[in-house]
């Protein structure tokens, strides 16, 4: 059963930095659906991209796999084409729960679940890499080297699906989308207190960049094309092709 996220419903004197610990893991499915506009569509789109990009004999990677939703979305195609899947997350509690969820995958899919930092993951023979809402948690200076290694480990014609919370240079647009995102959370049952305490917890942890910064960097690291495939408020999914 899905447990409701009430982590920030109590008033805290001091809001601690957000961490992907046991408490977050227990409510994560509910939290991400009520906090990230378009999350369900992103996961559905990944099934479509898997069909387009996963090539037989290659690998699919899910970087920042959390509970395995993205890995599961690639599972059917991976099985049909004999691709192996590698799911990575550095939160032990997420990995533990993810292992149970991935048991749903057909045993014939070659699957590796690793509890490690994506910055140390070797990417080889990838035809599809998905990094949904994970790059945003890495220090800014470490993003380009990681993306370069992903691009270098991707076969010609392979793709990266990158989903991120974004910000906007235009301050009016930034304010408008930020306020719509809060309205989205309110509409999904979060109180003002929950929204503001979660924002404080994430302040130093989730650093958003602009769509332009993402697209330019993807081209710099070796992708031939990079385009926004889907946007819901201030959350975008970019597809970059090698």
* Interface residue list for ligand GEK (CB under 6 A): 20, 32, 64-66, 69-70, 88-91, 94, 117-119, 132-134, 137-138
- Written as six digits, the tokens of 100 are 């149970």
CB-based contacts of 213: which residues, under 8 Å, 6+ apart? Answer: none
Pairing of the two strands 126-132 and 225-232: unpaired
- DSSP for 8-30, written as a single string: T-SPPSSPPPP---HHHHHHHHH
CB of 85 to ligand GEK, least distance (A): 13
CB of 43 to ligand GEK, least distance (A): 6
CB of 58 or CB of 70, closer to ligand GEK: 70
Query: Nearest 5°: CA angle at 141, between 65 and 144?
Result: 65
CB of 71 or CB of 127, closer to ligand GEK: 71
CB of 172 to ligand GEK, least distance (A): 25
CB of 28 to ligand GEK, least distance (A): 7
CB of 118 or CB of 128, closer to ligand GEK: 118
CB of 127 to ligand GEK, least distance (A): 18
Query: Residue 111: phi, psi to the nearest 5?
Result: -130, 135
Tell me which residue has its CB nearest to ligand GEK: 64
- Measure Cα distances from 212 to 46, 172, 227, 229 in Å: 22, 17, 10, 14
CB of 127 or CB of 134, closer to ligand GEK: 134
Bridge partners of 84, per DSSP, are: 59, 110
CB of 90 or CB of 234, closer to ligand GEK: 90
């Amino acid at each position: 059963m899905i447990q409701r996220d009430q982590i920030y419903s109590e008033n805290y004197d001091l809001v601690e930095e957000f961490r992907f610990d046991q408490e977050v893991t227990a409510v994560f499915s509910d939290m991400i659906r009520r906090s990230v506009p378009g999350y369900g569509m992103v996961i559905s789109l990944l099934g479509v991209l898997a069909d387009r990009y996963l090539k037989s004999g290659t690998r699919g990677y899910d970087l920042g796999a959390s509970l395995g939703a993205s890995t599961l979305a690639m599972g059917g195609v991976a099985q049909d084409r004999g691709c192996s899947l590698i799911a990575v997350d550095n939160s032990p509690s997420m990995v533990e729960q993810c292992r149970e969820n991935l048991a749903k995958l057909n045993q014939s899919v070659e699957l590796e679940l690793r509890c490690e930092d994506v910055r140390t993951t070797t990417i080889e023979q990838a035809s599809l890499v998905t990094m949904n809402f994970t790059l945003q948690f890495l220090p800014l200076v470490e993003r380009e080297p990681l993306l370069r290694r992903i691009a270098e480990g991707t076969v010609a014609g392979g793709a990266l699906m990158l989903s991120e919370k974004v910000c906007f240079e235009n301050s009016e647009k930034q304010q408008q989308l930020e306020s719509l995102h809060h309205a989205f959370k309110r509409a999904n049952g979060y109180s003002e207190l929950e929204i503001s305490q979660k924002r404080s917890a994430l302040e130093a942890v989730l650093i958003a960049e602009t769509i332009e910064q993402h697209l330019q960097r993807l081209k710099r690291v070796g992708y031939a094309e990079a385009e926004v495939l889907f946007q819901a408020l201030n959350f975008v999914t970019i597809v970059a092709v090698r």
